[in-house]
Amino acid sequence: MTIAQQPEALNFECETGNYHTFCPISCVAWLYQKIEDSFFLVIGTKTCGYFLQNAMGVMIFAEPRYAMAELEEGDISAQLNDYEELKRLCLQIKRDRNPSVIVWIGTCTTEIIKMDLEGLAPKLEGEIGIPIVVARANGLDYAFTQGEDTVLAAMANRCPDKAPVAETDKNERNAISKLLNFGKKKEEVVQEEAEYVNHPPLVLFGSLPDPVVTQLTLELKKQGIKVSGWLPAKRFTELPVLEEGYYVSGVNPFLSRTATTLMRRRKCKLIGSPFPIGPDGTRAWVEKICSVFGITPQGLDEREAQIWAGLEEYVKLIRGKSVFFMGDNLLEISLARFLVRCGMTVPEIGIPYMDKRYQAAELALLQQTCHEMGVPLPTIVEKPDNYNQVQRIYDLKPDLVITGMAHANPLEARGINTKWSVEFTFAQIHGFGNARDILELVTRPLRRNNSLKDLGWDKLVKEEAKI
């Protein structure tokens, strides 16, 4: 009688390195565009203002809906009245923009001087008549993407717990339904509504561009699953209803705080699934939601196979190559799992922070993918020490390093191919149809090198590096 050998387990390590990442207030860059009736007020110092100007300088002609409340010496030494100053600014915002919501973004300085933003907001909200949401998206977080997590967790508390009494049709309040049914006759809409399976309400959370929201909503619609709403919605006035017992599912790995808020405060049920990044992750995400609602998924084999066939021109460039993640935006586990499925090996995944509960399904899929592809399991290093990482990179000699901007040029100067991890944050990488965008980013440094070799410039570059 033989004992079945247990599959190798993932190896987790934790170092004591510093965080080399953007400031989380950068979340304003994409959230103010997503929530169209919002205004973001960042409360911090001139340094915060300089960062926002540089991070969002490309939007100089776009008339963005954010502003900087700069703390002066009088504020920091408590010589000025915080309430009166914030009231003056918010009244000006109301007069000039009249948004549906003002989001106060607290920074490191507000934490250090202990500004009671949560205490000031309700009183001021009552005076000016505009909802004020407080989010402490400051540099004390592990990764810049957690800024969105903080904002969404705060907004989750503002979601209505039941539909308005005067509302006769809940679908009229759902912006997703309006978008999907635009231009259709009423009879067609009624017929499509009948195609949905009877299941508990489902709300998805995570800020994604509208085309990606539509894609993921339609993928679930093909299985008869109706999305009751998204957090955040396009407009603050269209936040989804969240009643006790509603099901919720996240689309990004860095939203653990939002997930906790939805479960503990709103009494929702979290669907723990891999994240819809890459064809494999999207399929697993849809299958998990279907399994929770007792639905047998249809057509996913053909759908995934079709996408992989269309990606072959990219996959053949990276098949058999290795990629090393230094750790930056908390997307590392999902991206590594997808690249392993593409035929790459991943010796190490650096990640600033690892919430093993929220990413449990993703970790399990990573382990399963490595076994199925016959490659060694990666070592997952939480809070990596970049000095040690650079030494390991020299020893391992990976074909590609996905890193933060701070280390890209030094590594390139030593002949190591790099890709900025921040680019994956701003690219459309979710769903079946956007896997090509991920591989476009991953293969760009390799395609560039191939072009240099064809032109005979690679030898010149190596000679210049020696000089």
CA dist 152 and 230 (Å) reads: 11
Query: H or E element: which one contains 315?
Result: helix 312-318
459 domain-assigned: yes
Q: 252 and 218: one domain?
A: yes
110 domain-assigned: yes
**Cβ-count burial of 305 within 10 angstroms (0-12 exposed, 13-18 middle, 19+ buried)?**
exposed
Of the residues 270, 301, 332, which one is the last residue of a structural domain?
Answer: 301
> How many domains is the chain built from?
3
**Contact status, residue 131 vs residue 125, Cβ threshold 8 Å:** yes
317 domain-assigned: yes
150 domain-assigned: no
Q: 330 and 273: one domain?
A: no
**Cβ-count burial of 173 within 10 angstroms (0-12 exposed, 13-18 middle, 19+ buried)?**
buried
Q: Is 117 helix (H, G, I), strand (E, B) or coil?
A: helix
Q: Which DSSP string corresponds to 441-454?
A: HHHHHHHHHHHHHH
Q: 306 and 265: one domain?
A: no
CA dist 45 and 53 (Å) reads: 13
Q: 52 and 185: one domain?
A: no
426 domain-assigned: yes
Q: Which residues contact 421 (CB under 8 A, 6 or more apart)?
A: 325, 326, 328, 329, 331, 332, 402, 403, 404
**Cβ-count burial of 195 within 10 angstroms (0-12 exposed, 13-18 middle, 19+ buried)?**
exposed
185 domain-assigned: yes
Q: 361 and 294: one domain?
A: no
Tokens representing 59 are 């939007």
Q: 213 and 253: one domain?
A: yes
146 domain-assigned: no
Strands 202-205, 132-135: pairing kind? unpaired
CA dist 39 and 100 (Å) reads: 8
Q: 226 and 369: one domain?
A: no
CATH of the domain at 256: 3.40.50.1980
Q: How far out from the chain centre does Cα 373 lie?
A: 27
Q: 422 and 448: one domain?
A: yes
Q: 292 and 331: one domain?
A: no
Tokens representing 39 are 């205004």
Q: How far out from the chain centre does Cα 224 lie?
A: 26
CA dist 71 and 220 (Å) reads: 46
Q: 225 and 284: one domain?
A: yes
pLDDT at 7: 54
Tokens representing 78 are 């408590």
Q: 417 and 272: one domain?
A: no
Query: H or E element: which one contains 459?
Result: helix 457-466
Residue 189: CB atoms within 10 A of its CB come to 14
Of the residues 141, 162, 180, which one is the last residue of a structural domain?
Answer: 141
Q: Which DSSP string corresponds to 15-38?
A: --PPP----GGGGHHHHHHHSTTE
331 domain-assigned: yes
pLDDT at 138: 83
CA dist 130 and 232 (Å) reads: 18
Of the residues 254, 277, 301, which one is the last residue of a structural domain?
Answer: 301
Of 389, 382, 396, the C-alpha closest to 322 is 396
Q: 224 and 111: one domain?
A: no
Q: Which residues contact 126 (CB under 8 A, 6 or more apart)?
A: none
User: Per-residue confidence of the chain (467 residues) as pLDDT tens digits?
Assistant: 344 444 578 899 999 877 777 889 989 989 998 999 999 999 998 888 888 877 666 455 556 788 888 887 766 666 667 889 899 999 999 999 999 999 999 998 888 888 889 999 999 999 999 999 999 988 888 899 999 999 999 999 999 988 665 443 444 455 556 655 555 555 555 455 667 889 999 999 999 999 999 999 999 999 999 999 999 999 999 999 999 999 999 999 999 999 999 999 999 999 999 999 999 999 999 999 999 999 999 999 999 999 999 999 999 999 999 999 999 999 999 999 999 999 999 999 999 999 999 999 999 999 999 999 999 999 999 999 989 999 999 999 999 999 998 899 999 999 899 999 999 998 999 999 999 999 999 999 988 877 766 655 555 455 545 54
Backbone φ, ψ for residue 218 (5° rounding) = -70, -35
Which domain range does residue 35 map to? 24-141
